[in-house]
Amino acid sequence: MHKIVVYREKKKLGHFGVKKLLRRAVNAALEAEGVAERCYINIMLTDDEGIHAINREQRNIDRPTDVLSFPMNELKAGEFDSRLCDYDPRVKAIMLGDMVLSLERCMEQSKEYGHSFDREVSYLCVHSVLHLLGYDHLDEGEMKAQMRRREDAIMVKIGL
């Protein structure tokens, strides 16, 4: 139903089957948030070098990170309203935004946290989708706690 475009910035990034994991995570997050309308999300897979360059250029932060989210709309967390979103008639979908994911960082963090690569990449995807839907965690208060609860619930639904 949703239009989820996943592409690799560079060849030889590995991780066969990651596109399926990402599509499952996006669909689970959108369903959990009650988003019934067809949505369009771009996901670029890269490595630490690629995400470092984007982080420096877009956010003025000179280091790699695990995932970056670029929302197309200004939404309120937990209150999705399609009327507030840009719509692309060519793909007949609401434009939610773009996600950039470092597969290299996903592999490192899965080892660091002692869980599977599948869980890490799915978690970061869910995290990013929530950002596209207006969630934020810049402060340590209730908004961050709300986002963590939503992430946990969605990951349980996915089975990871």
Q: Are 125 and 25 in contact (CB under 8 A)?
A: yes
> How many helical (H) and strand (E) elements, i.e. helices and strands, does the chain have?
5, 5
Q: What pLDDT does 138 receive?
A: 67
CA distance 70 to 58: 10
Residue 17, phi then psi, degrees to nearest 5: 90, 0
pLDDT tens digit string along 105-157?
Answer: 999 999 999 999 999 999 999 999 999 999 987 666 777 888 999 999 999 99
Number of structural domains the chain divides into:
1
The residue range of the domain holding 29 is 3-158
CATH code for the domain in which residue 64 is found = 3.40.390.30
Q: Are 75 and 134 in contact (CB under 8 A)?
A: yes
Tally Cβ neighbours within 10 Å of residue 11: 6
Kindly state the helix (H) or strand (E) to which residue 153 belongs, with its residue range: helix 142-158
Structure tokens of 55? 């982080």
pLDDT tens digit string along 30-78?
Answer: 999 999 999 999 999 999 999 999 999 999 999 999 999 999 999 999 9
